[in-house]
Amino acid sequence: MRSPALTQSFPEGTTVPRSSPPELASRLARIRHVALDMDGTIYRGKTLFEFTNPFLALLVRLGISYSFLTNNSSKSVCDYVAHLRTMGVAATADLIYTSTQATLEYLRSTQPSVKRLFVLGTRGMSEEVASAGYTLTADSAGDEPDAVLVGFDLGLTYARLCRAAYWIKRGKLFIASHPDRICPTDEPTVLVDCGSICAALREAAGRGPDAVLGKPDPRMLHGLLHSRNLRPENLAMVGDRLYTDMEMARRAGVLGVLVLTGEATAEEAREHKPELDLVATNLAELGNRLEAARKAGV
């Protein structure tokens, strides 16, 4: 059972219900691992937030481990390691878990007969799928797949979108790596993400995905709890989206911390039902709260 909603923090000038500060401090003091969403939480687009590295350093000082979770399937784990290092964040492959990895784990554990995939995704995603032992089929009616896998395809073409719809309409297993409709960006555009691509396929083929992996599927956190030997009360899920990050935290029974540096607004957070565990302006505020809870010794 989840604990009651905790004290919320919003930008100055907003008014929100507040619950017991001691209760919040008690839960924060039990946190041993922080699972961090990436785009919109530690950076936006190609811009690293100035408070990210100080926050990570604070976690180390407090003895709190951390990992990076992302629904963005456009990059492989190796790509993300390089991407983070380019922005100045020290990262290794064991700290990163993506929706592509969650999808591959799902296919291995629940769909062992699936060997051939028609993939709408980037080269990085396709290479990761192929390296896991799957055969990637071509854009041809003669090269039949066992399933269609849709991710965040930055090079999506009309022909391949039509081919995916064709196989889905013919009854092939339809898997989506994650439900995100758009990807956060610091550029003057809208980045159409996996969920929106799936919406187009649903309209064309007459049915939606048979399974949608990534956040908010709680399996993204269950594996983390098991591998780190943690109980749900020891884990905080931090992200900027209500329908992925916070919903997954709710389903997994861990502390959900919404940061207002990405998609969700303060108004959306204030009106969200069920009431959120904790809303912080950014990671710096969360760090202050974690440090204060540890110093208080609650």
Q: DSSP letters along 133-148, please?
A: TPEEPPSSTTS--SEE
Domains of the chain: 21-71+215-296 (3.40.50.1000), 100-212 (3.40.50.1000)
Return d(Cα 271, Cα 280) in angstroms, integer.
15
Tell me what pLDDT residue 21 has: 65
Tell me what pLDDT residue 211 has: 95
Whole-structure pTM over 0.95, yes or no? Answer: no
Encode the chain (298 residues) as per-residue pLDDT tens digits: 333 334 344 444 333 333 356 788 899 999 999 999 998 999 988 899 999 999 999 999 999 999 999 888 998 899 999 999 999 999 999 999 899 988 998 999 899 999 999 999 999 999 999 999 999 999 999 999 999 999 999 999 999 999 999 999 999 999 999 998 988 777 899 999 999 999 999 999 999 999 999 999 998 888 788 878 999 999 999 999 998 899 999 999 999 999 999 989 999 999 999 999 999 999 999 999 999 999 887 5
Element (H, E) at 294: helix 283-296
Tokens at residue 133, please? 């032992």
Tell me what pLDDT residue 42 has: 97
The answer to whether the CB of 53 falls within 8 A of the CB of 89 is yes
